Structure 1
Amino acid sequence: MKYRALLLAAFTFLSVSSGMSMAADNKQNLDSVKQKIQMSLGMQVTSIGDAPVPGLLQVQTDKGLFYTSDDGKYFLQARIFNLDEGMRNETETTLTKMRIDGIEHFKDSVIEYKADKEKYVVNVFTDITCGYCRKLHNQMEEYNDLGITVRYLAFPRAGINSKPYQDMVSVWCAANPQKALDEAKGGENVAKASCSNQVAEQYNFGQSVGVNGTPNIVLPDGSVVPGYQPPEKLLQAIQHAS
């Protein structure tokens, strides 16, 4: 009995040690691939781990969602579909979760136009110089009348430190951000203002979840409707996604 107990203990020790060694090797490989991507491509990797496809790694970066071979040799920008699950878009599933989590982080730094009888909430990446963003904004009362609350996140298309970026910082830092945004989208000059703000963070977050133009509308379930949508069509899109 003692002999069998010793054998069992030895086997358990070897199994645990082997598991720990494999975990350490896996972490070392992930760290190596992460470093390679950051050094070679200048991207900041926020998360790296197994992809839905064996042999691939899923990489979340400040420039979007990508995949690599497990040795970091090949870098892919792709969409992964699961044929066994009715062509489920695995890439979009991941991005949807990223959007929902990220939007929650910015809930206190959006500029909100709340519907009196709120039924739905959409988050819109916007730029004050964007023509279709202004068109959407001019119909705000119609969206609100349909029960749609609109929350704006900043996405200055010209990038960080551009004039639109500086103007959007001033809007977000204004004593009355909603009024300042109304005026900016109406083509009026933006009064300079500064404060601690998350405009750059919102812009970077948008890039990380695939935003490359405005308006970009994130529906309540985390899916996206790119581009301007008239009030009734947006309502239909929300209801279809619900």
Structure 2
Amino acid sequence: MSRSSGPSAFRSTARTQGSWPPRPAWSRSCFSRTSSTSTSGVRSRRSSATTAWDETQRDPVDIALRCQEAGAQALTLHPRTRTQMYHGAANWNEIAAVAAALTIPVIGNGDIRTPADVLAMRQQTNCAGVMIARGSFGNPWLFAQARDLLAGRAMRPDPSPADRFSTALEHARLALRLQGDTRKTALEFRKHFGWYTKGLPGASELRQRLFAIESMAEAEAIFSDYLFGSVRSAA
């Protein structure tokens, strides 16, 4: 799973007089040469991820065809421009147009927040696959639930608060094994713990406490207090 990083892999940046931010100085022929160079001599499966810099350069079908001609064996499209960033809606019609024009698999990306969004993108665009990024933050169950819908099965239920917290802490422990710095990991995981609590009763207050942690032990205690308080309230 990854996020599209915009057109930076296929452009050089040049600042023109009176232009800010700098606009990319690239042509479609340059794009094709760059794509060909990046895929030549690689034995493993080759893929490209692409978007445009701004509306004046928005031509996803032509760019995608050039990627395919240059040797790409799969292509991921996030149908926003670089200048849009995360504003506005991803134009899924562009994914459909690219999927119809190419013979290689096209992977759609953009505005996937729920399992139903995955199903809708597949149905509306006929893409071969769906890339999920921000929608999975704090919600790794999204993938299994989406597979249920794609397979025509009843979607498995959302995880309980206890399951959420258990997974969040396991996620943090895996990060700690890589980093080896307890406090640094705790600080970085403030936002991750916040994502795991999204939609829970009292989530706002819970996040305020989690955003102040200095250690994993504090996070464990906060989660335990929340679960104990829920049980006590139910009783």
TM-score by length of 1: 0.27
Looking at both structures, which has the greater relative contact order when contacts are Cα pairs under 8 Å and sequence separation is at least 6? 1
Greater helix share, structure number? 2
TM-score by length of 2: 0.28
* Structure index of larger Rg: 1
